[in-house]
Amino acid sequence: MSVLLENLGKRFGDGGPILEGVNASIGAGEFVALLGASGCGKSTLLNIIAGLERPTSGALEVPADGAAFMFQDAALYPWLTARGNIELALKLRGVGKAERRARATELLELVHLGEAADKRPHELSGGMRQRVALARALSQDREVLLMDEPFAALDAITRDLLHEELTRIWRETGRTIIFVTHNVREAVRLGQRVLLLSSRPGRVVSEWDVPVAVKDDAAAAAALTADITARLREEIRRHGK
């Protein structure tokens, strides 16, 4: 098991709980999409798994080396090249100079950006910047990769292309991926499983398996997307009340 959450809870100060009774198990190499209404605690849950926040109650197990994190904003250093951004992450891990350059080049090739190694962020499209951010996250060389709506700001065509890239990279690297999104279609397209968090306090209230046969069948994928969307709307309506 790669990530295990047992009765996990989180509150800040004297406020009401953000998360309460979260139970989930995510296998090594699994791709899980996490859905929920705005404010349900998805990002807080990722922060806890990443070790950036401590749970108030319950327990969790993650690999000893922790998890890598990819955010919605690429947050690249504008004065560094694509390769330089990745080399800096490797330097912070203590990787030697010669190895850093070789590894950064290898990671850029993995995300199909080898030809853009010497370009700075302002010379790259939004999709290309997110590929660099993905390569940088992979440079941390951790079993678990947490992704917090990394494609939300991109146009539909670019997002679809990056879905294909991410699926390919996941298969090639064997990473365990937990992917937060508001987009049900995106969750069905990417995830082997989709978990739905309830409105605050967040807890896992539904889950769906998404076999490859469903992904490859447009009608089946559309039907599952409609089913999950209806359940998500229930949670949004409940939150509104």
156-201 pLDDT, tens digit per residue, is 888 898 999 999 999 999 999 999 998 999 999 999 999 999 888 8
- 18-68 confidence digits (pLDDT tens): 999 999 999 999 999 999 887 888 899 999 999 899 999 999 999 988 899
Compute how many other C-beta atoms are within 10 angstroms of the C-beta atom of residue 134.
24
154 falls in which pLDDT band (50, 70, 90)? confident
pLDDT at 241 over 80: no
C-beta separation of 55 from 9 below 8 A: yes
Residue 145 CA from chain centroid, whole number: 6
Do 134 and 15 belong to one domain?
Answer: no
CATH of the domain at 227: 3.40.50.300
Write down which residue in 125, 141, 157 finishes a domain: 141
Do 146 and 136 belong to one domain?
Answer: no
Residue 7 domain-assigned (yes or no): yes
Do 88 and 55 belong to one domain?
Answer: no
Instruction: Determine the average pLDDT of the residues in 71-96.
Output: 91
Q: Is the peptide bond before 201 cis (omega within 30 degrees of 0)?
A: yes
Residue 72 domain-assigned (yes or no): no
Considering only CA atoms, which of 159, 99, 119, 154 is closest in space to residue 107?
Answer: 99
- 196-227 confidence digits (pLDDT tens): 998 888 899 999 999 999 999 999 999 999 99
* Domain count across the chain: 2
Q: Which domain holds residue 171?
A: 3-66+142-240
Write down which residue in 94, 125, 141 finishes a domain: 141
Do 159 and 101 belong to one domain?
Answer: no
Do 54 and 147 belong to one domain?
Answer: yes
Cα–Cα distance for residue pair 50/151, rounded to 1 Å: 20
Do 130 and 222 belong to one domain?
Answer: no
Residue 45 domain-assigned (yes or no): yes
Do 59 and 102 belong to one domain?
Answer: no
Residue 73 domain-assigned (yes or no): no
Do 147 and 88 belong to one domain?
Answer: no
Strands of the chain, DSSP E: 3-11, 17-26, 31-36, 57-61, 67-70, 144-148, 176-180, 193-197, 204-209
Do 201 and 147 belong to one domain?
Answer: yes
Token couple for 134: 């993905």
pLDDT of residue 119: 95
pTM: 0.92
238 falls in which pLDDT band (50, 70, 90)? confident
Do 149 and 55 belong to one domain?
Answer: yes
1 falls in which pLDDT band (50, 70, 90)? low
pLDDT of residue 40: 82
Do 118 and 18 belong to one domain?
Answer: no
Do 99 and 192 belong to one domain?
Answer: no
Write down which residue in 98, 113, 141 finishes a domain: 141
